[in-house]
């Protein structure tokens, strides 16, 4: 249904019957299908904006010469008389929204049918996604409800695992309150070749081992390459051997065992989605249609993402991406791990540990992110460093938790991160 004349009449009649109702409505004139109803409702809003009572007299006066085009004073009277009760007005409002969305979907689809191409498709997807939120009524909890919930939590603390997703690193999980939190946008930033992709894959693997599900969006590497890296980390196989495919019998056995375990993981790798709109559709399907309750998203990486709308500056584009991803994380109540490059400015300092100002094309990154973590390896810059194979995860921002540094061992041959107290127990000498 692309129009609902009865619902439009019921809403207009309810307002004429009880003028104060218009303050509860969120409709705009263009949400109505019939032009006379648009004019009548616009007149009602104008009268209400002057703090005057909305009734047949004030509305007809506001309409003036347009009154005849809208059916005359008799039509207004008929609208009011036809409404037995104003109680279902919010239901009728929703019916108008439903018809409006259907009408706009048809218009957008017709426009796309005349303008083929990837750009037109991106715009169609974005417009349809935005349209989903038109007329959606959000039920907010009252302050009393929140205070009562907090009091109950103090008496019976909730299970923290219901909020955080542990990824298998003891100190990291502890500092982040049980791992990445639901609804959070978690930025992991580092200079190239520092290990951020490996770290993100290790987080995804740890979450899968705990029974969670993951969508990985790879804009830099193919799905097969990422899976090979995950197999290397899982099976302790030298990642360089994928280049020559010269595996020993031991490598083969470890690889087959790793692949066998990974087949039980609930992980999907996507290599073609590059816009937020495309990613949103995939993530929504994972959460809504596939009912993945403990879902995590990894995006590698921010600077390779594209946008549908055009901006004068790249930092504004990046800001729009992080804002949409943050809203998506909150809407679906999932953590989104977003990798980001750092500017070259870090290379010019004596202490090369990253700072917030090093985020490339920062825009709103720092503002939108709930957590910002930087990766730093001293042996990356100093060959004679005492901290060989040790990586620092520097949490510079954590909206609901402490900031600080967590150290992990990084076994470069395998692309694997482990807790420091385990590093000497790992077999990380490359096999022949």
pLDDT tens digits, residue range 261-287? 999 999 999 998 888 888 888 998 899
Instruction: Look up the pTM and report it.
Output: 0.67
Is pLDDT above 50 for 120? yes
Is pLDDT above 50 for 63? yes
Q: Residue 424: which of 413, 406, 411, 415 has the closest Cα?
A: 411
Give the integer Cα–Cα distance in Å for 192 and 170: 26
Numbered ranges of CATH 1.10.860.10 in the chain: 5-131
Q: Residue 172: which of 192, 152, 188 has the closest Cα?
A: 188
Predicted confidence at residue 422, as pLDDT, reads: 61
Give the integer Cα–Cα distance in Å for 404 and 388: 20
Helix (H) or strand (E) holding 299: strand 295-300
Q: Residue 315: which of 63, 113, 323, 375 has the closest Cα?
A: 323
Q: Residue 362: which of 320, 318, 324, 312 has the closest Cα?
A: 318
Q: Does 139 participate in catalysis according to the annotation? A: no
Is pLDDT above 90 for 306? no
Q: Residue 265: which of 317, 328, 312, 216 has the closest Cα?
A: 216
Question: For the residues 297-310, what does the mean pLDDT come to?
Answer: 84
Which stretch of 101-110, 174-183, 300-309, 358-367 has the lowest confidence by average pLDDT? 358-367
Numbered ranges of CATH 3.40.50.300 in the chain: 160-425
Is pLDDT above 70 for 29? yes
If one compares 133 and 367, the residue with the highest pLDDT of the two is 367
Give the integer Cα–Cα distance in Å for 262 and 230: 9
Give the integer Cα–Cα distance in Å for 2 and 231: 52
Predicted confidence at residue 361, as pLDDT, reads: 63
Q: How confident is the model at residue 363 (pLDDT cuts 50, 70, 90)?
A: low
Distances (CA, A) of 124 to 128, 186, 239, 279: 6, 29, 41, 14
Q: Which CATH number fits domain 160-425: 3.30.450.40, 1.20.1070.10, 3.40.50.300, 1.20.1090.10?
A: 3.40.50.300
CB 33 within 8 A of CB 103: yes
Could you give the 3-state DSSP secondary structure of residue 359? strand
Give the integer Cα–Cα distance in Å for 429 and 432: 9
Question: For the residues 382-399, what does the mean pLDDT come to?
Answer: 91
CB 310 within 8 A of CB 119: no
The catalytic residue among 149, 220, 293, 347 is 220
**What fold, for 5-131?**
DNAb Helicase; Chain A (1.10.860)
Give the integer Cα–Cα distance in Å for 307 and 301: 14
pLDDT tens digits, residue range 332-362? 999 999 999 888 888 888 888 998 888 866 6
pLDDT tens digits, residue range 224-264? 999 999 999 999 999 999 998 989 999 999 999 999 999 99
Give the integer Cα–Cα distance in Å for 18 and 5: 20
């Amino acid at each position: 249904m692309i129009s609902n004349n009865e619902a439009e009449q019921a809403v207009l009649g309810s307002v004429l019957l009880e003028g104060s109702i218009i303050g509860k409505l969120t409709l705009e004139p263009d949400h109505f299908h019939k032009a006379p109803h648009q004019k009548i409702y616009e007149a009602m809003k104008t009268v209400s904006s002057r703090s005057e009572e909305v009734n047949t007299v004030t509305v007809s006066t506001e309409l003036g010469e347009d009154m005849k085009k809208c059916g005359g004073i008799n039509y207004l009277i008929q609208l009011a008389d036809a409404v037995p009760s104003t109680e279902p007005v919010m239901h009728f409002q929703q019916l108008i929204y439903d018809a409006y969305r259907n009408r706009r979907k048809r218009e957008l689809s017709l426009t796309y049918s005349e303008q083929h191409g990837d750009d037109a498709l991106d715009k169609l997807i974005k417009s349809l996604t935005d349209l989903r939120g038109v007329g959606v009524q959000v039920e907010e909890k009252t302050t009393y409800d929140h205070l009562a919930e907090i009091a109950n939590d103090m008496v019976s603390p909730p299970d923290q695992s219901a909020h955080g997703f542990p990824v298998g690193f003891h100190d990291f999980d502890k500092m982040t309150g049980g791992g990445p939190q639901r609804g959070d946008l978690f930025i992991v930033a580092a200079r190239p070749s520092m290990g951020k992709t490996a770290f993100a894959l290790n987080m995804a693997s740890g979450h899968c081992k705990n029974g969670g599900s993951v969508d990985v969006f790879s804009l830099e590497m193919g799905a097969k390459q990422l899976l090979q890296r995950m197999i290397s980390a899982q099976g302790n196989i030298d990642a360089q051997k994928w280049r020559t495919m010269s595996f020993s019998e031991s490598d083969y056995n470890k690889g087959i065992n790793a692949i066998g375990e990974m087949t039980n993981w609930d992980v999907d790798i996507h290599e073609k989605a590059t816009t937020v709109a495309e990613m949103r559709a995939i993530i929504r399907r994972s959460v809504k249609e596939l009912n993945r309750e403990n879902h995590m998203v990894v995006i590698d990486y921010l600077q390779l993402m594209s946008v549908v709308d055009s901006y004068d500056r790249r930092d504004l584009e990046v800001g729009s991406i992080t804002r949409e991803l943050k809203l998506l994380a909150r809407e679906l109540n999932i953590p989104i791990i977003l990798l980001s490059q750092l500017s070259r400015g870090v290379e010019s300092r004596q202490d090369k540990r990253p700072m917030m100002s090093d985020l490339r094309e920062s825009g709103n990154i720092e503002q939108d992110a709930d957590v910002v973590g930087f990766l730093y390896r001293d042996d990356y810059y100093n060959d004679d460093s005492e901290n060989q194979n040790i990586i620092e995860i520097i949490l510079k921002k954590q909206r609901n938790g402490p900031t600080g540094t967590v150290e992990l061992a990084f076994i470069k041959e395998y692309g694997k991160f482990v807790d420091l107290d385990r590093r000497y127990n790992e077999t990380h000498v490359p096999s022949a």
